[in-house]
Amino acid sequence: MVMRGAGNTFGQVNPGGPVTTTVAGAPVGNTGPWAGATAPAAMTPAGLAPGGAAPMGADGLAPLTGWAAGQNFTPAMLNENIYDSPFWLLNNVFPNLKDNMPGYQSLRDFGADPLAIYNMTAGAGGLLTGGAGEYANFLANLYQNLGSAGGQNFSMPEMLANIFGQTETGLDSSNTLGQILGTGNASQQIRTMFNLLRDASNVGMNPLAARAYQASVAAAGDRYGSQALTQDVDKTKGFNEYLKNNFPQLAGR
């Protein structure tokens, strides 16, 4: 559980409600010092749920369910755009909220990439194999809670626990977050970790603390990369393990 406050709690897959998802190639975080990390290619493409978890429609995409099913979305257009432009849903979630209102901008740019939050929360609980419609359901809940009276808080300790609580990464992991953390070479893993920790700290810390934390993660990444150049590729520990063992304060330990 990562978000606290009135309304729904994020970070768990609710069997009776929206089940969040991701797609191969979708960005893990937005732009930044180490940008460009992507979800592992081995992850399930949108709409292709293995083991009969979700039947596909004639267009090869999972049918829309829950909140998304009542929004008159075109599944193919939703699948093509929602990962890059999640804020396009704001007018559906809040029909009376105009784009020139302060509240609109606050929700549009609340400080983190929703896809990164999604991977750090629901992605820690298992493999996310739904379609774009189920990611839309997650976003609708997210925006509804952020925009509700009383405000919401993101818990940095809980997001760190999700990230650094992974015992397996890459294809050995049984959940989406673990697969993301272990995908790619050392440089790619550093970029992925930095993107996730940057967004977590942006919403889970005060601005000055977040900047200091991100600078420390960047420095640790440089040190890890320098050491990796002298080691056997097959014996190099992942950046996740490196931070836990050498910089426990950055891992919330």
* pLDDT tens digits, one per residue of 198-222: 999 999 999 999 999 999 999 999 9
Is residue 60 packed enough to be buried (19+ CB in 10 Å), middle (13-18) or exposed (0-12)? middle
Residue with tokens 């050491």: 227
What is the percent of the chain with per-residue pLDDT over 70, rounded to a whole number?
Answer: 73
* Strand, helix or coil for residue 27: strand
* pLDDT tens per residue across span 87-97: 999 999 999 98
Matching residue, tokens 């990796």? 228
Sequence-separated contacts (24+) of 43-52 with Cβ below 8 Å: 43/127, 43/176, 43/179, 44/127, 44/129, 46/21, 46/79, 46/131, 46/132, 47/75, 47/79, 47/131, 47/132, 48/129, 49/129, 49/130, 49/131, 50/129
User: Position 100: which residue type?
Assistant: N
How far apart are the C-alpha atoms of 145 and 92, rounded to whole Å?
A: 14
Collapsing DSSP states into helix, strand and coil, what is residue 152?
coil
Q: Confidence class of residue 57 from pLDDT cuts 50, 70 and 90?
A: low
Domain map (residue ranges) of the chain: 3-154, 156-246
pTM: 0.74
CA 205 to CA 202: how far, in whole Å?
6
Q: At what angle do helices 239-246 and 186-204 cross, to 10 degrees?
A: 60
CB 156 within 8 A of CB 204: yes
- pLDDT tens per residue across span 103-158: 899 999 999 999 999 999 988 988 887 788 889 998 999 998 888 776 567 889 99
Tens-place pLDDT, residues 5-33: 333 333 332 323 333 333 333 444 433 33
Compute, in degrees rounded to 10, the torsion defined by CA atoms 41, 126, 122, 95. Answer: 80
